[in-house]
Structure 1
Amino acid sequence: MTYIKELTISLCDWETRIILESVSREASRLKSICEHSEDEDEAADAGNDYLELIGLKERLENHAIELFGQQITDFSRDAL
């Protein structure tokens, strides 16, 4: 039987936004590799990582929106 370790952390709003944005960018990068790579192994690995990352992103986003509100997912750099 495998024991899965777990990490519990506390983040403020700006830290959460940075992590969500980073996860979103990495997911986009992996998706692009999966869609455009001519190397089947690379595409498969990127696709698997993408699916795992999307699951993480959804969990983080749901908790973040619950706590900070929908604006936590706004990564625009436009002036307020």
Structure 2
Amino acid sequence: MSTIREMKISLLDWEARIVLESLTKELQRLKNINETSEDEDEAAEAGNDYLEVASLKERLESEAVTIYGEQIKNFSQEEI
């Protein structure tokens, strides 16, 4: 039986935005691998990782929106 460990962190708004943007980019990368890889194992692994990262992003984004508001999901380089 494995032990599930948990880490609690505190993020400022700009830190949360960077993490969310990074997760969004990672999802795109994994999706691309899953859709284009000729290696079935690599494609399957990317698909599984995509689901895990999507779950993490969903949890983090939900809490971030509650705390910082909808604008936390705006990754535009233009002024908000």
Which TM-score bucket, shorter chain as reference?
over 0.9
Unpaired segments ≥5 residues, structure 2: none
Q: Name the CA distance, whole Å, in 2 between partners of 1:39 and 1:64.
A: 36
Distance 2:2 2:73 in 1: 34
Q: Identity rate of aligned residues, in percent?
A: 59
- Structure 1 residues without counterparts, runs of 5 or longer: none
Question: 1:1-80 maps to which residues of 2 (within 5 A)?
Answer: 1-80=1-80
Report the alpha carbon displacement of residue 78 of structure 1 after superposing the two structures with TM: 1.6
Moved over 2 A (4+): none
Partner-residue secondary structure (3-state), 2:7: coil
CA distance in 2, matches of 1:29, 1:59: 20
Distance 1:67 1:5 in 2: 24
Supply the AA of the counterpart residue of 1:40. Answer: E
In structure 2, C-alpha distance between the alignment counterparts of 1:79 and 1:4, rounded to whole Å: 41
Shift of 1:2: 2.0
RMSD: 0.8
